[in-house]
């Protein structure tokens, strides 16, 4: 039996992105917490990658009589007879969080759950699968943290930026570490002329992006892993991305390493990186050398923070001062979705065990690489 408080939430569902845009636009610029919740990111993804994956859009709008409102840009994926709703962006969105105003933070978990179940039934959804949700973002709590959930398999990692990049670098690297970094850059410069670049026009952008695709192809093939960037829809999406900024370190006219980032509300999100494994300079960590240049540039431009996405990596341990706690929510709307929701929870827990255990992770990656060629 719902409490009177729960009844205050009104729910509306939409399946057309153009129709939903008016509601989306009614939220303030700060309501979309990350670049992954902006129309520029999600609409272009939906038209390319989402279309290829047979994702049907579902937009949920919740509001109360006191002015609280929340907007969910979701996609419906059908697996057999089960319909699952998840955040748009799929695996390409590192962090998922609803779009909401401050008044929605007053809602409790029972209200949000009841509204989701109601929306799910209206849209014939069996289960909601919400992954990689930050508990909070840039000091603002995530209202979905009030729902029953479990820790995500991996953490996110971030770094607070300072006006003076030299002070920042000295806090992250020891004197010996800074010396090694200078030595790496010097070693690269001995091989020829190096430049640090940002793609400032379409020609530079396409050239860097094509080099990134080539570098990832070599990297994945060398590890006997499938390459998600081979997908033509993924390539088309990134080639026309308005949210993406590309940086590169160039040696004798060839790109050694490339970084792609997005930005929102003074925060930068690292989306992808690559380096040329066949180049002699690869042994001198060109990706790290480029990262330091990017950090300096962002500090001078006035950005206050950067994240390096989800998942563990050695460079993140060195550079990041913040571990971003993430959680997953699996919510069935009725009996049909109950079994799939339980399975998703168990799968997530097993994945977390593998990700957080170095031994289990090595065994899993070795098995995956072996099975690919059987």
Of 255, 270, 242, residue with least CA distance to 211: 255
Of 4, 60, 305, 71, residue with least CA distance to 168: 305
- Stretch 281-297: mean pLDDT, rounded? 97
Q: Kindly state the tokens that stand for 180.
A: 């090694």
Domain with CATH 3.40.630.30 in the chain: 162-303
Which CATH number is 162-303 given? 3.40.630.30
User: How far apart are the C-alpha atoms of 150 and 326, rounded to whole Å?
Assistant: 9
Task: Quick: pLDDT tens for 306-350.
Answer: 999 999 999 999 999 999 999 999 999 999 999 999 999 999 999
Contact call for residues 251 and 279 (beta carbons, < 8 A): yes
In this prediction the pTM is 0.91
Count the Cβ atoms, other than its own, within 10 Å of residue 320: 20
User: How far apart are the C-alpha atoms of 245 and 232, rounded to whole Å?
Assistant: 20
**Share of the chain residues as helix, strand and coil, in percent rounded to the nearest 5:** 45, 25, 25
- Stretch 97-121: mean pLDDT, rounded? 96
- Stretch 287-313: mean pLDDT, rounded? 96
Compute the mean pLDDT over every residue in the chain, rounded to the nearest whole number.
Answer: 92
User: How far apart are the C-alpha atoms of 31 and 68, rounded to whole Å?
Assistant: 12
- The second-level CATH assignment, the architecture, of 6-152+325-371 is 3-Layer(aba) Sandwich (3.40)
Residue whose entry in the numeric block shows the structure tokens 């002329």:
193
Of 262, 235, 226, residue with least CA distance to 246: 262
Report pLDDT for 5.
45
- Stretch 80-96: mean pLDDT, rounded? 96
What's 286's DSSP letter? H
Report pLDDT for 360.
53
Name the β-bridge partners of 71: 61, 99
User: How far apart are the C-alpha atoms of 309 and 311, rounded to whole Å?
Assistant: 7
Count the Cβ atoms, other than its own, within 10 Å of residue 81: 7
Report pLDDT for 33.
85
- Stretch 186-190: mean pLDDT, rounded? 96
Contact call for residues 237 and 44 (beta carbons, < 8 A): yes
Reply yes or no on whether the pLDDT at 270 is more than 80.
Answer: yes
């Amino acid at each position: 039996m719902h409490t009177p408080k729960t009844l205050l939430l009104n729910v509306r569902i939409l399946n057309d992105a153009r129709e939903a845009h008016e509601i989306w636009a009614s939220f303030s610029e700060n309501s979309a917490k990350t670049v992954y919740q902006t129309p520029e990111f999600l609409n272009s993804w939906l038209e390319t990658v989402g279309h290829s994956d047979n994702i049907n859009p579902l937009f949920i709008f919740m509001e109360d009589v006191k002015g609280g409102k929340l907007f969910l840009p979701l996609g419906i994926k059908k697996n057999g007879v089960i319909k699952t709703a998840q955040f748009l962006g799929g695996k390409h969105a590192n962090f998922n969080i609803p779009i909401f105003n401050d008044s929605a933070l007053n809602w409790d978990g029972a209200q949000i759950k009841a509204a989701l179940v109601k929306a799910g039934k209206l849209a014939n959804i069996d289960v909601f699968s919400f992954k990689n949700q930050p508990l909070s973002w840039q000091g603002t709590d995530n209202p979905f943290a009030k729902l029953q959930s479990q820790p995500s398999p991996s953490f996110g990692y971030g770094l607070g930026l300072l006006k003076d990049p030299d002070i920042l670098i000295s806090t992250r690297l020891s004197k010996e570490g800074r010396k090694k970094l200078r030595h790496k850059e010097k070693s690269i410069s001995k091989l020829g002329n190096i430049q640090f670049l940002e793609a400032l026009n379409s020609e530079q952008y396409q050239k860097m992006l094509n080099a990134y695709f080539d570098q990832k192809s070599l990297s994945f093939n060398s590890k006997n892993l499938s390459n998600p960037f081979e997908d033509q829809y993924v390539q088309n999406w990134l080639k026309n991305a308005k949210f993406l900024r590309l940086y590169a370190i160039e040696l004798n006219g060839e790109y050694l390493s490339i970084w792609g980032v997005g930005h929102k509300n003074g925060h930068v999100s690292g989306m992808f990186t690559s380096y040329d494994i066949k180049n002699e300079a690869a042994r001198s960590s060109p990706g790290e050398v480029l990262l330091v240049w990017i950090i300096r540039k962002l500090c001078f431009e006035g950005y206050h923070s950067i994240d390096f996405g989800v998942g563990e990596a050695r460079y993140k341990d060195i550079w990041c001062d913040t571990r971003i706690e993430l959680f997953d929510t699996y919510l069935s709307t009725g009996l049909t979705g109950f079994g799939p929701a339980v399975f998703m929870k168990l799968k997530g827990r097993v994945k977390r065990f593998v990700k957080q255990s170095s031994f289990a992770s090595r065994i899993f990656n070795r098995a995956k690489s072996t099975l690919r060629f059987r």
